[in-house]
Structure 1
Amino acid sequence: MSSAPVSTARIANPEFQARLMDAEAAASLIKPGAVVGMSGFTGAGYPKAVPLALARQMDEAREAGNPYAIKVWTGASTGPELDGALARAKGIDFRLPYNSDPLVREQINSGAVQYFDMHLSQVAPAAWQGFLGPLDVALVEVSAILPDGSVVPSSSVGNNKTWLDRADKIILEVNSWQHEALHGMHDIYYGTALPPHRKPIPLVTPSDRIGQATFRVDPSKVVGVVATDIPDRNAPFKAPDASALAIASHLLDFFQNEVRVGRLPASLLPVQSGVGNIANAVLLGLMDAPFEPMTAYTEVLQDGMLELLAAGKLSMASCTAFSLSPEAAERLNGEMALYRDRIILRPQEISNHPELVRRLGCLAMNGMIEADIYGNVNSTHMMGSRIQNGIGGSGDFARNAYISIFMAPSTAKGGAISTIVPQVSHVDHIDQDVQVIVTDQGLADLRGLSPKQRAEKVIANCVHPTFRDQLADYYARALRDSYGKHSPSLLKEALSWHQRFIETGSMLAK
């Protein structure tokens, strides 16, 4: 896919116009072994033309016997023109901090790609602290370059401010597909600093604007500007199935009870929602709930949140990126001006900042792969060793939320896997950070409960009937035979369910 011919009208500064080039020329500026900070967060605002050109050059080099790869830093996941294209060219040597591309995942799990999975709020501070090493190139998609040289972000902010500040060289993709009305939607905060010079971040409501609408870019570092007109590519959301609808129903009942007993205000507290079909089903379920006006302080704006904004149920959404189906993205682009004052896009070090999450009292709703009977949650690894995507921002919110909720269907793989197990095969969220577990079977409120009380509630409310007796039997024997009685565990059996699945294709005992 070529970046030309496309309009260059959005490159309004002469100094940047002088660096205009095609994608092939820009890609040639990225050398083997380079560390490249790329824009992109959940398939929004990622560079498209230059990575595709770079992948073609990598293919040609490999065919000539000179393969090369680069190290890729991003905000989170990207799209097929970036992660997918570079992976097909075997061009990624190292990746951080989050990935959802299936081919990159395969290469990570085969050992071909080194992967650093980390909390999203920590990426920018880690880059500034220096232990990630130098950043050679920032490759960032933007929606416009203004006459004064300031740069308008596109459909995600992510870590772009940090990449632009830290990189030795900068390549900008100016994408005219991104709506012009994005200008004014962003809030780029330049007040962060390393210790001992940190000051409080002056944000007290999701609607606060504490920064500026554009990026500052040092023109002396800009080595290339590429004009593009390529849409973001996000997968469509599936219609909620019975399991997702049941999870949404349990959560809405829980929220209504929290309001009724006075633990939540009638409009709730700012909601945070992870990415995926279940999270989207929960958001859509809020449409008919008696909570308004709601606000959101979250990572991404999904279809359900856009529906809530359109209906007036949600008064403000603060996030770092869009994560919309193609249909919802088209709708938003058609009505962008209507939403410009009701959506704020921030750097992810602000959208996911633990202090702000706690200050605002977010209601954190995130997905999981599995949970154990004591409330420990695995959100990253299949059977303990195969990474799925990464921890993303779930840890940023879980430990600091007003209420920390994890949700998933009670079974997976057609019923062969129980989501609730004796012991999780990998721990991302310790039981002290998990307050509520929800499956299609029911909801377990674990707040204030001892480990044994937690186990009894999880088994009674969240386990699929196919596995309930098997898990209850394990727990009864653990109570009797465990080395200690505080968190009873049978060490020889705690991970046997996972091993049974690996060996037989099912966690069910025969």
Structure 2
Amino acid sequence: MFSESRVLCPQLKSKIMTAEQAAAFISDGDTVGMSGFTGAGYPKSLPRALADRAGAEHKAGRPFQINLWTGASTAPELDGVLAEAQGINMRLPFQSDPTCRKQINNGQMHYIDIHLSEVSQYAWSGFLGKLNIAVIEVTAIHEDGRLIPSSSIGNNKTWIEQADKIILEVNKGQNLKLEGMHDIYYGTALPPHRKPILMTKTDDRIGDSYFRIPPEKILAVVETDAPDRNSPFTPPDATSRQIADHILDFFQFEINKGRLPKELLPLQSGVGNIPNAVLEGLDTGGYKNLTAYTEVIQDGMLKMLKSGTLSSASATAFSLSPVALEELNDNIDFYRERIILRQQDISNHPEVARRLGVIAMNGLLEADIYGNVNSTHVMGTRMMNGIGGSGDFARNGYLSIFVTPSIAKNGAISSIVPMVSHVDHTEHDTKVIVTEQGLADLRGLSPRQRAKLIIDKCAHPDFRDRLHDYFERACATGRGMHTPHILGEALSWHENFERYGKM
């Protein structure tokens, strides 16, 4: 069907132009919604052209910055080039780019950190202001104007519907056989007009396979041929494997207790070494017909689908190594029957996660002795990446598991502290904390019971005695015995690190 060009719609062929020509439609101060989620499906050409334009404008003494919305983090070819060109005024809802991070923490870039499931609602409700232009990568355009989505969906449906005008990047580097893998749900609405989302299984399909865009909204079509950012897979290290072993033992304990079925419950997993170690352990642990309801399909999930450990996986994007991408493309007919890509207000939907009973596994920067979790702010003030989807799943999952090594910076930092310097997930949402030292199941425990368990099971031995000492002295004050603290000392560990480079 598709020959040299993947733009088959006659009405849109006349709008094909260069990225530089398309970038001219974007003005200083515009709010631009771009596709992209965890390094997949982001526009490859227009951001570079826009960054070059910003640089030229600044050199001429004229201002040029945009407000940038995406699905989540993207890649150096988008976040990186625009940040380096000083081209971003406001960024949301999640990022992981070092230049963006530096500018956010230096006060050069505004940043709004939002639960990923809520971004669409914020946009539809008008809380974020007007969306001027959407820049969306797609795989191809059919004769009748239907758009085959790319390797991520993220907030693309919302950007397409909310933006005044749209620029499309049609990427020949994406596999045409992605067609049919997507499930775009057009039934969302704002209160009081919401209807139930008719999904009771992770592999339920409730929408369409294509984006719908009125052709008159499309300003330009840019043809590209570039790969996603596919980072090499790093095998889990010894610490990650220890953490994974604690989780796997816990799963078996819960199965034996009758609190989990032998097929577990749908898995949600953050990105990184520890989740990959858990997936690797599950794949060799004799499990069959597991399911995933998550944000991102990683290397480990492809392996689990291939082995039959995982029967289906629902997400909003891929995040694959080059080797795993080759595996996906070589066997895409097999995977298309088992993978569903949805928009993120469905993949991360709190009510769906609660109904399915998701097992949520996410990372943290620090946890305190009562179970409060900081997953975003280093020393309470410096943004790392953002909350992402962890809050969507942590509060609503059947199990919310937070994982971290017990120490950081070669032992200068303890991940378990008297009081977290910033709270993203309260003690009420944290059911299990795991480090390489052990696992603390906090369900059914009072704050003082949780404190003893977290210190004994999760804290590194170098800090364990100091944590016990703090807790015992806090209890000895006799004040606030429900959640004992010594307010003058509660953040002293962080102050020590800021002054002396160690806690």
Give the TM-score of the pair, scaled to structure 2: 0.99
Task: Write out per-residue CA displacement over residues 158-195 of structure 1, whole angstroms, 9 at most, x where no aligned residue.
Answer: 00000001100100000011101100000000000011
The counterpart of 2:155, out of the listed 156, 159, 162, is 159
Task: Write out per-residue CA displacement over residues 6-63 of structure 1, whole angstroms, 9 at most, x where no aligned residue.
Answer: 9852111101111100111011111111100000000000001000111111111111
My pick for the range that moved more, 28-37 or 60-69, is 60-69
Query: Which residue does 1:229 correspond to in 2?
Result: 225
SS of residue matched to 1:433:
coil
The reply to whether residue 298 of structure 1 matches residue 297 of structure 2 is: no
Alignment of 1:297-376 (within 5 A): 297-376=293-372
CA distance in 1, matches of 2:22, 2:159: 17
Tell me if the contact between 1:482 and 1:489 (Cα under 8 Å) persists in the aligned partners. Answer: no
| CA drift at 1:483 | 2.2
Tell me if the contact between 1:418 and 1:467 (Cα under 8 Å) persists in the aligned partners. Answer: yes
SS of residue matched to 1:71:
strand
Tell me if the contact between 1:435 and 1:447 (Cα under 8 Å) persists in the aligned partners. Answer: yes
Letter in 1 for 2:386: G
CA distance in 1, matches of 2:73, 2:372: 25
Query: Which residue does 2:8 correspond to in 1?
Result: 12
CA distance in 2, matches of 1:333, 1:30: 35
Query: Which residue does 1:246 correspond to in 2?
Result: 242
My pick for the range that moved more, 475-484 or 110-119, is 475-484
My pick for the range that moved more, 233-242 or 30-39, is 233-242
The reply to whether residue 483 of structure 1 matches residue 479 of structure 2 is: yes
Letter in 1 for 2:34: M
Letter in 1 for 2:45: A
Tell me if the contact between 1:405 and 1:437 (Cα under 8 Å) persists in the aligned partners. Answer: yes
Task: Write out per-residue CA displacement over residues 121-157 of structure 1, whole angstroms, 9 at most, x where no aligned residue.
Answer: 0000111111111100000000010111010100000
SS of residue matched to 2:182:
coil
Alignment of 1:41-440 (within 5 A): 41-440=37-436
My pick for the range that moved more, 289-298 or 343-352, is 289-298
Query: Which residue does 1:3 correspond to in 2?
Result: none
SS of residue matched to 1:279:
helix
Please, which runs of 5 or more residues in structure 1 have no aligned partner?
Answer: 1-5
Letter in 1 for 2:75: G
| CA drift at 1:482 | 5.1
| CA drift at 1:276 | 1.3
CA distance in 1, matches of 2:92, 2:479: 40
Tell me if the contact between 1:272 and 1:364 (Cα under 8 Å) persists in the aligned partners. Answer: yes
Tell me if the contact between 1:482 and 1:490 (Cα under 8 Å) persists in the aligned partners. Answer: no
CA distance in 1, matches of 2:243, 2:406: 10
Give the TM-score of the pair, scaled to structure 1: 0.97
The counterpart of 1:444, out of the listed 440, 444, 455, is 440
User: After the TM superposition, which parts of structure 1 deviate over 3 Å for at least 4 consecutive aligned residues?
Assistant: none
Number of matched pairs: 502
Letter in 1 for 2:93: P
Letter in 2 for 1:215: F
Distance 1:484 1:311, change over 3 A: same
Task: Write out per-residue CA displacement over residues 352-399 of structure 1, whole angstroms, 9 at most, x where no aligned residue.
Answer: 000000000000000000100000000000000000000000000000
The counterpart of 1:463, out of the listed 459, 464, 470, is 459
CA distance in 1, matches of 2:478, 2:227: 57
Please, which runs of 5 or more residues in structure 2 have no aligned partner?
Answer: none
The counterpart of 1:454, out of the listed 443, 450, 457, is 450
SS of residue matched to 1:306:
helix
% identical equivalent positions: 62
